[in-house]
Amino acid sequence: MPTSKPDELLSTLETTPLQSEHNATASTYREKADVLNRAIQDIGMGRYQWQLFGVIGFGWASDNLWPIVTSLILVPVSYEFHVAQPPLLSLAQNIGLLAGSLFWGFTCDLFGRRWAFNLTIAITAVFGLVGAGSPSFAAVGLFAALWSFGVGGNLPVDSAIFLEFLPGSHQYLLTVLSINWALAQLFANLVAWPLIGGMTCASAENCTRASNMGWRYFLIAMGGLALVMCIARCVFFTLFESPKYLMGKGRHEESVAVVHEVARRNGTTSLLSTDDLSDETTSNDDVTETTPASRPRLSATDQLRMRLEPLSAPYIRALFRSPRRAWTTSLMILIWTLIGLGFPLYNNFLPYLQQTRGIQFGDGSTSVTYRNSLIIAAVGVPGSLVGGVMVEMPRFGRKGTLSLATLLTGAFLLASTTAHTSTTLLGWNCAYSFTSSLLYAVLYAYTPEIFETQHRGTGNALVGGANRIGGILAPIIAMVSNVQTAVPVYISGGMFLAAGLLVVLIPVETRGRTSM
């Protein structure tokens, strides 16, 4: 899901004459952030940033890996504990993701990036491992919420870190990181097939812990992987605190020292000095020196206020300032809500649906279910690559590709309800996996391009919040409509079809255009 990037957030600060101490502080922070941006650009893309690119990929992988983990353990957990409402596990997960996204997104601005960088994956690892010993369904739900609390912080924290050390000329690498999502899904299914597929009860009848250990071993494997990621980050890579965070705290010497150390590791030098971050501004060609009292450092309260500023009324109103802009913004919020509800409503219960449908077809063994999940995940990997090609084709562009992928995703979901064998169901699900991967690849690129630069953070926050709310509503709808029937599939397919039609109504095509 897109998150408000620090550089974009800074660009939304007011540039009108400063009338308050807060505005003066915010303006000073922005000016100094520009200085740091230029210093990082002068250093260029080097060894330190490429190493960071590698370890940041762990966060991207975790962001998709653990929601997949929850869906993969749903069948054996429901069998062992004789669960009446399996979607409750997905609900617990989505609540944890929302809480984690909000908590880590704000606190990393207040208390620093470095500690959150390692702590998010550490929390995921600990509760993933502890969850393997869960004595009840309630315990599994609790630990799923807790490991999701850690997972929810990966993108807000890691994207902030990566962008603040990344030269502007290489910000496209933030999109390249998305390949870790598809690979993580493939890896999770690859591990789940022998473990869960081979060590799970055939049905809920007479299902005991001893005969149903696969999902517990799977959690140990995934928790162990998260622990290895955490150790790799702590032991084999040195993350420096963000220069912008240090500057915001008034620790200018430390901020400059970090920039110089990054330059040293890249085999180059930087001309940045503490004088470049001094509290001086130029106005009307006159240099005016200010005192610490008039230009105070950015306090925790100031940083929180800046973080919330894009969600203030003036910034939100700017997204609706004209009929065309209001129409575009409203459509994007609605599209993200529909997709945010439709995708987890089906994807979070995919192994469960395959299992129950397979039993109806007479060939729903657990091993076949998880083998099929692996095949479905593998087919989804090239979807994002195809999307990267189609968005640059004049015939399709961003809007055409997104609309086509969304409509096809909905159509394949609805078509899957006609399957009468596991093989046919697998075919429809493979088609769904490919088009949904293509859909998300385009959606993540198209959405930020639609919003104007100075209000992009606000737009991303609105659509991201709508997406998370949809994720929480999905398991509730699944429970009400009975996940064991085809009703949730019909609802999910309908959501995608509606979203695809709404995309056609967007009056903006961004192919071949620079960001507004």
User: Can you tell me the distance from the alpha carbon of 426 to that of 420, in angstroms, rounded to the nearest whole number?
Assistant: 11
- Cβ atoms of 155 and 103 closer than 8 Å: no
pLDDT for the residue 381 = 82
pLDDT interval class at 305 (50, 70, 90): low
pLDDT for the residue 314 = 64
**Residue range 329-368, pLDDT digits in tens:** 899 999 999 998 998 888 877 777 777 776 666 666 777 7
pLDDT interval class at 139 (50, 70, 90): very high
pLDDT for the residue 287 = 39
Residue 355 CB burial class (10 angstroms; 0-12, 13-18, ≥19): buried
**Residue range 458-494, pLDDT digits in tens:** 676 678 778 888 888 888 888 888 777 788 889 999 9
pLDDT for the residue 267 = 85
The residue among 293, 310, 301, 281 whose CA lies nearest residue 32 is 281
**Residue range 47-79, pLDDT digits in tens:** 888 988 888 889 888 888 898 899 899 989 999
pLDDT at 147 over 90: yes
Domains defined for the chain, CATH in brackets: 1-278+296-309 (1.20.1250.20), 312-516 (1.20.1250.20)
Kindly report the average pLDDT of the chain as a whole number.
79
**Residue 381 DSSP symbol:** H
The H or E element containing residue 353 is helix 350-361
pLDDT for the residue 430 = 93
**Residue range 233-248, pLDDT digits in tens:** 888 888 888 787 787 7
The residue among 40, 8, 4, 38 whose CA lies nearest residue 515 is 8
Query: What ranges make up the beta strands (E) of 364-497?
Result: none
For 157, residues 6+ apart whose C-beta sits below 8 A from its C-beta are 59, 104, 105, 108, 113, 116, 117, 120
pLDDT at 412 over 90: yes
- Cβ atoms of 103 and 500 closer than 8 Å: no
User: Can you tell me the distance from the alpha carbon of 372 to that of 189, in angstroms, rounded to the nearest whole number?
Assistant: 9
Candidate ranges 219-233, 339-353, 415-429; pick with highest mean pLDDT: 219-233
User: Can you tell me the distance from the alpha carbon of 59 to that of 152, in angstroms, rounded to the nearest whole number?
Assistant: 10
The model carries a pTM of 0.74
**Residue 311 DSSP symbol:** G
**Residue range 155-206, pLDDT digits in tens:** 777 877 877 787 867 766 766 677 787 788 889 989 998 899 889 888 888 8
pLDDT for the residue 452 = 63
Candidate ranges 222-226, 245-249, 269-273, 506-510; pick with highest mean pLDDT: 222-226
- Cβ atoms of 419 and 428 closer than 8 Å: yes
pLDDT at 512 over 80: no
pLDDT interval class at 224 (50, 70, 90): very high
pLDDT at 404 over 90: yes
**Residue range 90-136, pLDDT digits in tens:** 899 989 988 887 788 667 766 677 788 888 999 999 999 999 999 99
User: Can you tell me the distance from the alpha carbon of 223 to that of 55, in angstroms, rounded to the nearest whole number?
Assistant: 17
pLDDT interval class at 5 (50, 70, 90): very low
- Cβ atoms of 214 and 76 closer than 8 Å: yes
User: Can you tell me the distance from the alpha carbon of 489 to that of 409, in angstroms, rounded to the nearest whole number?
Assistant: 12
Percentage of the chain lying above the pLDDT 90 cut: 23
User: Can you tell me the distance from the alpha carbon of 303 to that of 317, in angstroms, rounded to the nearest whole number?
Assistant: 22
Task: Please report, for residues 58, 59, 280, 296, 472, the alpha-carbon distance to residue 468 in angstroms, rounded to integers and kept in the order given.
Answer: 22, 18, 42, 36, 6
Q: Taking residues 280-290, what's their average pLDDT?
A: 41
Task: Please report, for residues 48, 62, 313, 354, the alpha-carbon distance to residue 55 in angstroms, rounded to integers and kept in the order given.
Answer: 11, 11, 37, 34
User: Can you tell me the distance from the alpha carbon of 486 to that of 492, in angstroms, rounded to the nearest whole number?
Assistant: 10
Q: Taking residues 204-230, what's their average pLDDT?
A: 92
pLDDT at 308 over 60: no
SS3 content of the chain, % helix, strand, coil (to 5): 75, 0, 25
- Cβ atoms of 27 and 13 closer than 8 Å: yes
pLDDT for the residue 511 = 64
pLDDT interval class at 15 (50, 70, 90): very low
- Cβ atoms of 185 and 64 closer than 8 Å: yes
